[in-house]
Amino acid sequence: MRKKEFYLQVLILAVPIALQNLLTALLNVFDQMMVGWLPGGIADNGLSAVLLANQIVYIFQIVVFAICNTVNIFIAQYTENGNEHLIKNRAGFTFIIIAFVSVVFMLICYLAPSFVIGLFNPSESYRQMAEDFLRLVALSFVPMGISVGIVFMLRAVKRLKAALAVNVCAVALNFLLNYTFMFGLMGVKPMGLLGAAYGTIFSRLAECIAMIAVLFILKNPLVGRIREMFSFDGKFISQYFKMFFPILCNEIFWVLSTTVYLFVYDKLDNSEVVLASVNIGQSLDKIVSVVMIGVGSAIGVVLGNVIGRGNKSEVDSFARESLKFGFFTGLAVALLTFGAAFVAPSVFRNVSAATHYTARNLIMLYALTATLRTLSFTAVIGILRSGGDTTFCMISETIIVWVVSVPLVMVCGLVFKADVYVVYLMSNVCEVLKLIVFYRRIRSDKWLKFNTPDKIAPAAEITVLGEGDEVYAFTADLRPETEKSDQKTE
């Protein structure tokens, strides 16, 4: 029965998380799709330019994800172990970190877009387009970061309905504004590629304002008095950064590896077609992968709740169930991806026939690797990080990716001049090795860094500080319901 309850909790949480990730993916896909509608033979170059600029946006989002994933490790446990009053404080700390990171990224990309894009050594045919697009879209970083932070923390406290409604409205607004600015509606002069950047700026700003309003109107547990939110203790800050830096380094090294892959793709023959095809394929993959992300993220929250209850045998059991769940999720993602391969490229009407053909074949390869990628995601995000095993994840994943896949991709693409399909498959060799390592780690029980005794203490005296000098104390029965006697709890 406990396993059935676990599956039910995961599914209840996975559905809104998957929908939110779907909407986030659609925001990106709408941009790509409408760029593919641009006339005058510039669709291929426009897609390549947006792909490079969005790689910087993706790096920014990855940093924000690392910030939020770290704090959610704590918040998920607070909701189960009687420390709900700490949620506001941890949320305030997270908002400060996100605001700082967002401003830094915005200034760098706005003031020096040529330097940032130049790191990719792009073709001159689309370099200037990428720089102009990045300079504008950088203005959306602050509202984007705050919105993403709110959504992630709402997942940890299992309050997603209002945020999901805001996401729906934001996607609709983004589509309308993008089309208006790119092609001209209601008297607006057509701006072409840059119109997509303006649409992103205004839709992200509106989404951020609505998210903040939702928190205050619904009196969400993430917000409170200034003193509650922004008075931090050194012990938590030390714990936070001890877990944050491995997560951040893990994500950054992974994103840098994908940047190397883009660099290699750009050096392949007919690079405009290759990059445009990769852009189309990745856009579709992000949509279909919301199933994988939803289940993996939900497992992370629910398993964090289980860890907060302190029963180690229950934690071990649910960790094994999570891998089974991840396997079947991966199969679902693979089937969805394969079916979409024959439909998705046709949405990009004005790209070349070669781009359509290459994109279709790439998407089928994405389907081939979907189950492995899903299991790896479930193991890292859903299980190991929930247990605080962030350093092991960072070291093992970084070594495997940079010692195996990155060299294989560079040798095959730059030395042997292999086609894009071989290069992609070489980039996924690491997924097999990661899965073996992560599975052995989970079976070893070394991944659980929090104190979770096999038996929960039958009772504990808890002291709670009230307003002013008031102190309250009470005794709580912490045994499972089946073990409790008829005695009343004071």
Q: What are 360-371's pLDDT values in tens digits?
A: 999 999 999 999
Q: Is the pLDDT of residue 296 over 50?
A: yes
**Residue spans of alpha helices (H) in 36-160:** 43-78, 87-111, 113-118, 127-137, 141-156
Q: Are residues 411 and 474 in the same domain?
A: no
Position 406 in a domain: yes
Position 450 in a domain: no
Which carries the bigger pLDDT value, residue 45 or residue 57? Answer: 57
d(CA 303, CA 319): 8
Residue type, 333: V
- In this predicted model, what pLDDT tens digit does every residue of 316-356 receive, in sequence order? 888 988 999 899 999 999 999 999 998 888 877 778 889 98
pLDDT of residue 69: 86
For 326-485, strand residue ranges (E) read 459-465, 471-477
Q: How far is residue 84 from each of residues 88, 213, 258, 472, measured CA to CA in Å?
A: 8, 22, 38, 16
The stretch 190-215 carries a mean pLDDT of 89
What interhelical angle do 271-288 and 353-377 show, nearest 10? 40
Phi/psi for 172 (5° steps) reads -60, -45
Q: Are residues 96 and 51 in the same domain?
A: yes
- In this predicted model, what pLDDT tens digit does every residue of 448-458 receive, in sequence order? 887 654 443 44
pLDDT of residue 82: 64
pLDDT of residue 140: 93
Q: Are residues 137 and 270 in the same domain?
A: yes
Cβ contact 101:64 at 8 Å: yes
Q: How far is residue 295 from each of residues 300, 379, 382, measured CA to CA in Å?
A: 9, 11, 8
Position 117 in a domain: yes
Q: Are residues 76 and 163 in the same domain?
A: yes
pLDDT of residue 468: 41
Position 451 in a domain: no
Can you name the residues that pair with 475 across neighbouring β-strands? 461
What interhelical angle do 429-444 and 353-377 show, nearest 10? 10
349 lies in which domain range?
Answer: 2-444
Which band of pLDDT confidence, cut at 50, 70 and 90, is reported for residue 1? low
Q: Are residues 392 and 476 in the same domain?
A: no
Position 280 in a domain: yes
pLDDT of residue 366: 94
Q: Are residues 335 and 400 in the same domain?
A: yes
Q: Are residues 165 and 246 in the same domain?
A: yes
Spatial CA neighbour of 252 closest among 21, 55, 449:
55
The stretch 181-185 carries a mean pLDDT of 83
The stretch 184-200 carries a mean pLDDT of 83
Position 452 in a domain: no
Give the count of domains, the chain.
Answer: 2
Share of the chain above pLDDT 90, in %: 31
pLDDT, averaged across the chain: 83
The stretch 15-36 carries a mean pLDDT of 79
Q: Are residues 63 and 137 in the same domain?
A: yes
Position 398 in a domain: yes
Residue type, 334: A
Q: Are residues 425 and 461 in the same domain?
A: no
Position 462 in a domain: yes
Q: Are residues 228 and 275 in the same domain?
A: yes
DSSP 474: E
Q: Are residues 478 and 433 in the same domain?
A: no
Contacts of 248 (CB under 8 A, 6+ apart): 63, 66, 67
Q: Are residues 55 and 159 in the same domain?
A: yes
pLDDT of residue 81: 66
